[in-house]
Structure 1
Amino acid sequence: MIPHFTDHAANERTYLAWVRTAISVMAFGFLLERFDIFLLYAAKATTQVPAGLHTKASQWLGLSLLLVGALMIVGATGRFYRNRRAIEAEGSSMYGDSWAARGMALLLVLMAIFLTMYVARQIAALS
């Protein structure tokens, strides 16, 4: 019997959930990075070329989401091993939230706000 098996299994499930989330963020970043193709196609479908159409922001935001996803995997791996050592330790330890998790959450919220404004502006430029 493995000591603290349920705790280790929960730690591994949490790690895998973080990895799945990071892969989703990276996939969304790749989709967003390719959003400019949709915008250029939509612009060519209209009879007039919109003056306010900018595609560089979606490329930079998509690349930054790819980077955030990679950082999420690195952070989740570190958290997994830290929790593994805490489970194996004989004494008790404090469980606390890290500043990195809060910072990444804030970064994702800021990216979401920017993306909302960006898409609204691009739709207005195509209208």
Structure 2
Amino acid sequence: RSDDTGAEIIARSSRSADGKVLLSGILFQTSAPAGDEAAGSEETGQAEAGATDLTTDETVELARADLAAQLSVSPDAIETVDVQEVTWPDASLGCPAPDMMYAQVLQDGLQIQLQVGEDIYFYHSAAGQPPFWCETPAPPAE
């Protein structure tokens, strides 16, 4: 099917041995948006995927805001412990999921360490991209 941006989505489903339905999908971009749509979404104010170029400070603030929302605490309750520019060893960005394969390409990014009370939280990102909470972080490339 196609969506409003001209992207075509192909979805397939199959059943696993235990009867669960497995879905897989492929997204094809068939045309680029024209005019104002190319500049970004009016709802979010974000540029199209891959076009963001967040500063380190903006990335840290996004991580703090996300953690505050996840934990239902004030951002003031979150301490920024450490922010490091790192090179991730693969496309998992230092947060590999079990049984997943990742492109083996070096990725520049950030590792952000936040603290609430005694608990430490890690956020990872690719360079200039929004951060995400990584519950089981792997070390960056050396």
Q: Report the TM-score, using the length of structure 1 for normalisation.
A: 0.21
Structure having the larger proportion of residues in helix: 1
Q: Report the TM-score, using the length of structure 2 for normalisation.
A: 0.20
Looking at both structures, which has the greater relative contact order when contacts are Cα pairs under 8 Å and sequence separation is at least 6? 1
- Highest CA radius of gyration, 1 or 2? 1
